Structure 1
Amino acid sequence: MLYTLHVKDLALIKEQEIEFHEGLNILTGETGAGKSIIIGSVNLALGGKADKEMIRTGAEYALVELTFFVDNKEIVQKIKSMDLPIDDEGTVVLSRKIMQGRSICKVGGESVNLKQLRELGELLINIHGQNDHQALLHKKKHLEILDSYSEKELNEYKKELANVWKYHEEIRKKLDETNLDEATRKREQDLASYELSEISQAELSEGEDEELEAKYRKMVNGRKIAEAASMANESIFAEDKENASDSISDAVSRLSSVSSYDEAIDDLTKQLLEIDTLLTEFGRSLSDYISDLEFDEEDFQEVEERLNLINHLKDKYGNSITDILEYASEKEKQLEILCNLEEERNRLTKELSKAREKALKLCENISEVRKKNASKLAKEMKKALLDLNFLDVKFEIQVRSFEDRITAEGFDEVEFMISTNPGESIRPLEEVASGGELSRIMLALKTVLADKDEIESLIFDEIDTGISGVTAWKVSEKLGNLSGHHQILCITHLPQIAAMADHHYLIKKGVSESRTITNIKELNSQDSVEELGRLLGAGEITDAVRENAREMKKKASEVKTL
């Protein structure tokens, strides 16, 4: 669940840390108080679009931090599989620092990219706003919802279908690539033969280029190397002047003459003798190296030409000899296909047919599961909608199959059908539902799917769009029921919904140091009554208004205990 929200220098918020709880967390406040900033800050922390204009005027950056506690073992395992930090107690901390032109995202103090932040957010919390209600008008969303309801039965089928259909599309692409006329086939065959011959004639070997480059480098810089080596040799072994070798030999002689008088001198003499021996061996090695530096112009020209050939092939076929040889291997396969094009097309056609037959069978299995669960979900949805004060609702889920429209998702089209008034025929959801009805339908779906949804925390924004009176009470009851399975954060302007709160927060705009700020605080029981009085629309909070608010809270409490 979402444990804390920490916001600093974001829009009208100077700095706030809010602690949320299990159950139903209700957020209320005057229009324009900044309720949208709270939802917006959560969205930002989960990887939503950031804008430098969000940074509070005068601040260098804005910061949003979310702390979650996760006790679902499957979600914990998914987080670990993403290689993201989660402590032994299940605590996950997400933060996002928004600066001019960029932002820094972190999980548990470790930097992550936006993609990782969004993927993690999808495991931890769902945010439902007006856009999500509108998504219900699209049939693609209906398919997603039905598949979510049927997930356990569909999971393996859909995984297998995704793999089969991916293979099908790869075969289809290869078949399309072999659809050549004779002139094109001959042209590509000639080109492949030429390229293969060019690579083959070079007789390349792995690592050859690195050896040649090292040899070439030595040859090009041979004069510099020879001069340096000769000077070093002269400094140590020159016969016509004092050198290092003679000096060390003289030192050995002098120490040897007195080494019998002191063990320490004897040890030093032995060390110097070892140096003298090493220097002699070094001299022989250096002399051999200088001799090997000699090469003729013909050797240099052969190395240079060979390197030029290899670099020419690299420019055409790959960045390394390994790449060139792999290219040659692919060309060899291509040439084999081009020489036997008709046989290859026949083979691919058979493979494509087999893959499609397998995909079709999986689509049929998936469709069967969907149709069975569509009936079950429709019955549960009808009951949930009646509970939300739809007078005489009919709800059906149509699953239509199209064998010529196979995709990685199957071949079904799913559409929610509804009638909300007695005597009206059932019609597609997009043709019937109003804004307030969409809000209730979304809530009904979340209630029905609650037992199947692993995500513990849900945020509802504008769930009360277009509703009032008895309907508002029904929505409030549903939210209360849903909060028995999930942590709910709900922004509302309706007293019926606010009365159901397990924890009530007030979002309020004020002035501090001559600047407008937004504050949020958790209300105690009495303050919650006062806020309910304001939501009831009373210009003045009288004792009668307070009593009405207390009655609403009492009624809500009785509903929650049922």
Structure 2
Amino acid sequence: MLCQLSINNFAIVRFLELDFKAGMTSITGETGAGKSIAIDALGLCLGNRADANTVRAGASKTEVSARFALADVPLAKRWLEDNDLELDNECILRRTISTDGRSRAYINANPVPLAQLKSLGQLLVGIHGQHAHHAMLKSEHQLTLLDNYANHKLLLDAVSNGYQRCKIVEKELKQLKMSQQQRLARKQLLQYQVEELNEFSIEENEFEQIEAEHKKLANGTELVESCQNQLFLLQENDQGSIEYLLNNAISQAQVLEGYDPKLTNITAMLNDAFIQVQESTNELTHYLDGLELDPEHLAYLEQRLSKVMQLSRKHQVQPNKLYTHHQALLSELNELGSNEDKLEEVQLQLLQCREHYLQHAKKLNQSRSRYAKELDKKVTQSIHELNMPKGKFTIDIQFNAESVSSNGCDHIEFLVSTNPGQELQALAKVASGGELSRIGLGIQVITAKKVSTPTLIFDEVDVGISGPTAAVVGRMLRILGNSTQVFCVTHLPQVAGNGHQHMFVNKHTKAGNTETSMVPLDKPSRIEELARLLGGDMITNNTLANAKELLQ
């Protein structure tokens, strides 16, 4: 329930702080006084769009805050808990707009995005504007009204989720089909390339091995000659091999060691060198004995190496990357094969999604049909009370499995007959302006009873209604106010008189500045205001008497 609304520097309001009560609050005022200004200001707290024009002339910013009691609003309390914004059993929404158009939103003193303010606001306040009757002529709005009355949110969510899932799978299938031709062309190319590489069948690290072995065999003659020259220098040179010379040096060092023990290390190092030379000789001899210069194997390696270079150029990769490239092409070819299976899988998945969606859509249709019959009776009874005693109202629901949307497969149309013998026809074709107002108001009041929103605002929804019908509308809103907080901006005394409380909006100019104020009326002031609504500026004893009757 809305408990308090504070308005600073909004349009022609300098400052207002309003306390509200439960029940029905009537709001009246002179033409042009700005009867809807408090509702417009509250709309800012509920996340409505705003611009710099809302800032009062001469002020730097507009600030509006609204305080709600949440003891009987479990949905709003849960929303606050889920968003870590809870504050006992109340909630304060605040909005500021500066002259440069910048807007800031707060929930319980925490800065929040405007979308969060709007999301919470929908759980706290429902606004029925004076143009709602015309919106009711649209099929999509009629559907929303029926769904609000049925309050089958779980079914709506299930249908919406199923629809979104179908859309996702449809998109995936479309992408798979669109790329099918490219995949086929790519697959043919890959098959040719992979067959060629399979035939060559290069092994991992084979290029490096071929390159090393080819280098050795291609330089076989130089290797043999060089090894033989090394052995000749190390051991086989009769005129002075390295072994011979080292052996003589060791003998001389041993003689010198006898003269001076400090030369012992020299002998040891020469002995080590002699051993290293002998081991080198043995290694070279062993290598030379095992060296095979096979011309046929060399030709095979040259052929293999040439093929590697050819394929590398063809595939535009480095020779040492050819094996990796081959494996990558194999993997891509296998994946393309699995994509064909994926296409069949997604097609089946889409059929299952659509079947699942239709199951929920049919359940939603059944729920709508059930509640439509209930609403038919209540709206028909309501328009009888609103001075259309022979009127009849019904909701036509057509289910079309081919016409899918996030709201299901139903086409909704409000049908009405306002006179005896008249066939049921679409609301837009039959109802006059006044009749449309009465039918629309009846529907709004009836559906509002089923909505869990704790505060409802009716902003001049009684346009086009007068006389006894206005009195019925007033009683309807008062009865609604017994269970829900109701605000009704009206120009009709029959409606205003049914309020549990009454607020008056006044506009005045002082020192060249225009201001709007809004004050609660006590009983005597209320009688005067109702008399003004009844008789205009000339308030007589008769109008005062009539005003007292309205309050009784």
Q: Say yes or no: TM over 0.5.
A: yes
Aligned partners of 1:163, 1:475: CA distance in 2, in Å? Answer: 39
Q: 1:538 to 1:180 in 2, by over 3 A?
A: closer
Q: Which residue of 1 aligns with 2:289?
A: none
- Amino acid corresponding to residue 95 of structure 1 in structure 2: R
The share of aligned pairs that are identical, in percent, is 33
Q: Which residue of 1 aligns with 2:91?
A: 92
Q: 1:430 to 1:335 in 2, by over 3 A?
A: farther
Does residue 512 (structure 1) correspond to residue 525 (structure 2)? The answer is no
Aligned partners of 1:188, 1:15: CA distance in 2, in Å? Answer: 72
- With the length of structure 2 as denominator, give the TM-score of the two structures: 0.71
What do residues 203-232 of structure 1 show as CA deviations (whole Å, max 9, x unaligned)? xxxxxxxxxxxxxxxxxxxxxxxxxxxxxx
Q: Secondary structure at the match of 2:131?
A: helix
Q: 1:333 to 1:129 in 2, by over 3 A?
A: farther
Does residue 110 (structure 1) correspond to residue 116 (structure 2)? The answer is no
Aligned partners of 2:444, 2:34: CA distance in 1, in Å? Answer: 26
- Amino acid corresponding to residue 39 of structure 2 in structure 1: I
Q: Which residue of 2 aligns with 1:453?
A: 451
Q: Which residue of 2 aligns with 1:18?
A: 18
Q: Which residue of 1 aligns with 2:379?
A: 381
> Given that residues 77 and 86 in structure 2 are in contact (C-alpha distance below 8 angstroms), is that contact kept between their aligned partners in structure 1?
no
> Given that residues 136 and 438 in structure 1 are in contact (C-alpha distance below 8 angstroms), is that contact kept between their aligned partners in structure 2?
no
Q: Which residue of 2 aligns with 1:492?
A: 490
Q: 1:419 to 1:512 in 2, by over 3 A?
A: same
> Given that residues 166 and 350 in structure 2 are in contact (C-alpha distance below 8 angstroms), is that contact kept between their aligned partners in structure 1?
yes
Q: Secondary structure at the match of 1:493?
A: coil
What do residues 108-148 of structure 1 show as CA deviations (whole Å, max 9, x unaligned)? 11111111111111000011112322221111112122222
Does residue 28 (structure 1) correspond to residue 33 (structure 2)? The answer is no
Q: 1:389 to 1:171 in 2, by over 3 A?
A: same
- Give how far 1:43 is off: 1.2
Q: 1:429 to 1:4 in 2, by over 3 A?
A: same
Q: Which residue of 1 aligns with 2:68?
A: 68
Aligned partners of 2:185, 2:462: CA distance in 1, in Å? Answer: 68
- Amino acid corresponding to residue 6 of structure 1 in structure 2: S
Q: 1:439 to 1:64 in 2, by over 3 A?
A: farther
What do residues 362-399 of structure 1 show as CA deviations (whole Å, max 9, x unaligned)? 22222122212211111111112212222311111111
- With the length of structure 1 as denominator, give the TM-score of the two structures: 0.69
Q: Which residue of 2 aligns with 1:317?
A: none
Aligned match for 1:365, one of 343, 363, 366: 363
Aligned partners of 2:471, 2:425: CA distance in 1, in Å? Answer: 27
Q: 1:379 to 1:509 in 2, by over 3 A?
A: same
Q: Secondary structure at the match of 1:539?
A: coil
> Given that residues 70 and 77 in structure 2 are in contact (C-alpha distance below 8 angstroms), is that contact kept between their aligned partners in structure 1?
no
Aligned partners of 1:334, 1:168: CA distance in 2, in Å? Answer: 29
Q: Secondary structure at the match of 2:507?
A: strand
Aligned partners of 2:52, 2:408: CA distance in 1, in Å? Answer: 43
Aligned partners of 2:154, 2:180: CA distance in 1, in Å? Answer: 44
Q: Secondary structure at the match of 1:130?
A: coil
- Amino acid corresponding to residue 479 of structure 1 in structure 2: L
Give the number of aligned pairs. 415
Query: Superposition pairs for residues 192-341 of structure 1, below 5 Å?
Result: 336-341=334-339
> Given that residues 125 and 457 in structure 1 are in contact (C-alpha distance below 8 angstroms), is that contact kept between their aligned partners in structure 2?
yes
Aligned partners of 1:333, 1:462: CA distance in 2, in Å? Answer: 70
Q: Which residue of 2 aligns with 1:176?
A: 174
Aligned partners of 1:73, 1:401: CA distance in 2, in Å? Answer: 35
Greater shift in the superposed pair: 503-512 or 394-403 = 503-512
Which blocks of at least 5 consecutive residues in structure 1 are unaligned? 195-330, 555-562
Q: 1:156 to 1:523 in 2, by over 3 A?
A: closer
> Given that residues 450 and 485 in structure 1 are in contact (C-alpha distance below 8 angstroms), is that contact kept between their aligned partners in structure 2?
no
Q: CA RMSD in A?
A: 2.5
Aligned partners of 2:446, 2:330: CA distance in 1, in Å? Answer: 58
Q: Which residue of 2 aligns with 1:392?
A: 390
> Given that residues 418 and 427 in structure 1 are in contact (C-alpha distance below 8 angstroms), is that contact kept between their aligned partners in structure 2?
yes
